[in-house]
Amino acid sequence: MMFVTGPAFSGKRTWVRETMGWDAEELAHRAVWDVQELAIDADDLAILADELACRDVVIACELGAGVVPMDADQRAQREAAGRLACLLAERADCVVRICCGLSQVLKGSIS
């Protein structure tokens, strides 16, 4: 599994499509994105990470790089999203961070 992360609207899906040579239909079939949203309601993040790791590509937006919210629920959502990202990176063969459309391989290699 390849885990792709980075800020919102940084070109993650476009990068995956172009790098993997997939059209939009294949992307929808082989990848899942915005997985940080799934962390909010997950009872067990490790089980969720195991389920997501079965996909070819998992894409998540990085959260928490800005101002810490005053609302406790929003802080908990950021915490869950960050923990899920760590679990996904642990399970991934390749981890890529996309920023401004540029890729940075953090783990493994792009094949």
Minimal CA–CA distance to 5: which of 79, 84, 74, 67?
84
Which one, of 74, 69, 95, 83, lies nearest residue 35 by Cα? Answer: 83
Q: Which domain holds residue 47?
A: 2-107
pTM: predicted TM-score of the whole model, two decimal places = 0.93
CATH number at residue 15: 3.40.50.300
* pLDDT tens figures, 68-96: 888 899 889 999 999 999 999 999 999 99
pLDDT of 62 strictly over 80? yes
- Total structural domains in the chain? 1
User: Distance between CA 47 and CA 53 in Å, rounded?
Assistant: 10
Confidence of residue 107 (pLDDT cuts 50, 70, 90): very high
pLDDT of residue 66: 73
Strands 102-107 and 94-99: antiparallel
Residue 23: predicted pLDDT:
95
DSSP line for 18-39: HHHT--HHHHHHHEE--THHHH
Inter-residue contact 106 to 2 (CB < 8 Å): no
Query: In angstroms, rounded to a whole number, what is the distance separating the alpha carbons of residues 93 and 63?
Result: 22
For 2-50, what is each residue's pLDDT tens digit? Answer: 999 999 999 999 999 999 999 999 999 999 999 999 999 999 999 999 9
* Tokens read off for 92: 């991934």
